[in-house]
């Protein structure tokens, strides 16, 4: 009973504190789940780490999108909170095994295109510094590997600068903080795209693509825009699917490096991925980069919380500052040259460029 009460508090807090700001539907559903002993017991049949509201609600949304929970789908489409609450509880009780199976198999995914606004100038800068005419991208913690299309999207910054592909079906914007412009040099040719993840998603697989849609909240204020953007991103990625390598990054990185042609610069990217690694694994990750650099020059571009990425300076910023550091490390076998080249906020929707270019 104590566990149920604790879980009830988690769901009530999620509804009233987290979802209330942007999703009246999820606010109502989460609070209703918190008040249903039967629903809480069903949720408790999942492993403890898979009971969080974001996971269970995404699993329910996945069933709705798949056509297995039509009443829930209809309630979401009508933005009817009371009907959604009733349908969510009914679906959970009728299909508890399916909900738990999805929750166990999946991780909630965020694929914020703003990351490309950070990655593009940083990758181009890495290539400039070593004189590379081609790059091979290796995205660690790639999720659906949408970051690997960084050169194929159009990016417009608030000061009027633009990068990338102006005719791309995927267009995004980024607000610049401060007076320093970003470098506008083009990224060199991308000759390899490799995604590394414990459970990478293939956008050409119907179930994987549906899960990405399920992770979007059904009534977020900019939901139509987010859905349209995700659909465009997945369609773009499907035209040239990347190589997806499944496994722990520390173990898989050596294989990933072999997939980059010898005459191209390997550029490893991490965007809010290393925070999921324990410190020992972050250090092993850095060691793997050092090992790879023993035979060829390479670069690592990171956007991580303050103090998360090993060797990247923190600029005296505090971990609780709320922003992230954009890092660039060049490795060539004899040394690691690491620099903080910018700061960013809100998964790359705002950024400040700091490096001299």
CA-CA distance, 145 to 197, in Å (whole number)? 9
pLDDT at site 283:
94
Res 4 pLDDT > 60 = no
pLDDT (tens digit per residue) in 272-327: 999 989 999 999 999 999 998 988 999 999 999 999 999 999 999 998 888 999 99
Res 117 pLDDT > 90 = yes
- Percent of the chain topping pLDDT 90: 83
State the sign of the Cα–Cα–Cα–Cα dihedral 65, 67, 73, 74: positive
pLDDT (tens digit per residue) in 280-290: 999 999 999 99
Residue 299 sits at φ, ψ, to 5 deg, of -135, 155
66 versus 319: the higher-pLDDT residue is 66
DSSP, residue by residue, 106-126? -------THHHHHHHHHHHHH
3-state helix, strand, coil in the chain (%, to 5): 50, 20, 30
pLDDT at site 112:
59
CA-CA distance, 352 to 87, in Å (whole number)? 45
| Distance of alpha carbon 304 from the chain centroid | 12
Task: Name the β-bridge partners of 330.
Answer: 299, 337
Res 45 pLDDT > 90 = yes
pLDDT (tens digit per residue) in 179-227: 899 999 999 999 999 999 999 999 999 999 999 999 999 997 777 888 8
- The bridge status of strand 265-271 relative to strand 134-140 is parallel
């Amino acid at each position: 009973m104590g566990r149920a009460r604790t879980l009830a508090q988690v769901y009530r807090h999620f509804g009233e504190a987290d979802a209330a700001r942007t999703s009246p539907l999820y606010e109502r559903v989460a609070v209703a789940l918190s008040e249903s002993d039967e629903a809480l017991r069903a949720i408790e049949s999942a492993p403890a780490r898979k009971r969080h509201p974001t996971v269970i609600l995404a699993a329910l949304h996945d069933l709705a999108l798949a056509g297995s929970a039509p009443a829930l789908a209809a309630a979401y489409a009508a933005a009817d909170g009371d009907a959604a609450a009733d349908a969510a509880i009914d679906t959970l009780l009728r299909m508890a095994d399916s909900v738990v199976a999805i929750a166990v198999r999946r991780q909630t995914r965020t694929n914020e295109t703003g990351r490309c606004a950070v990655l593009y100038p940083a990758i181009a800068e890495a290539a400039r510094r070593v004189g590379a005419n081609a790059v091979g991208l290796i995205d660690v913690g790639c999720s659906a590997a949408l970051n690997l299309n960084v050169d194929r999207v159009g990016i417009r910054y608030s000061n009027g600068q633009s990068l990338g592909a102006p005719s791309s079906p995927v267009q995004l914007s980024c607000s610049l903080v401060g007076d320093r412009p970003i470098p506008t040099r083009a990224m060199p040719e991308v000759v390899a795209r490799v995604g590394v993840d414990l459970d990478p998603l293939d956008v050409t697989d119907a179930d994987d693509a549906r899960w990405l849609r399920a992770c979007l909240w059904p009534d977020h204020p900019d939901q139509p825009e987010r859905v349209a953007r995700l659909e465009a991103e997945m369609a773009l990625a499907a035209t040239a699917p990347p190589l997806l390598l499944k496994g722990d990054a520390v173990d898989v990185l050596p294989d990933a490096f072999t997939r980059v042609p010898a005459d191209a610069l390997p550029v490893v990217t991490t965007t809010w991925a290393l925070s999921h690694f324990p410190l020992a694994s972050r250090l092993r990750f850095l060691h793997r980069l050092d090992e790879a650099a023993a035979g060829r020059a390479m670069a690592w571009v990171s956007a991580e919380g303050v103090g998360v990425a090993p060797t990247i300076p923190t600029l005296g910023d505090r971990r609780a500052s709320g922003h992230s550091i954009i890092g660039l490390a060049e490795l060539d076998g004899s040394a690691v040259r690491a620099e903080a080249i910018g700061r960013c906020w809100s998964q790359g929707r705002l950024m400040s460029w700091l490096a001299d270019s």
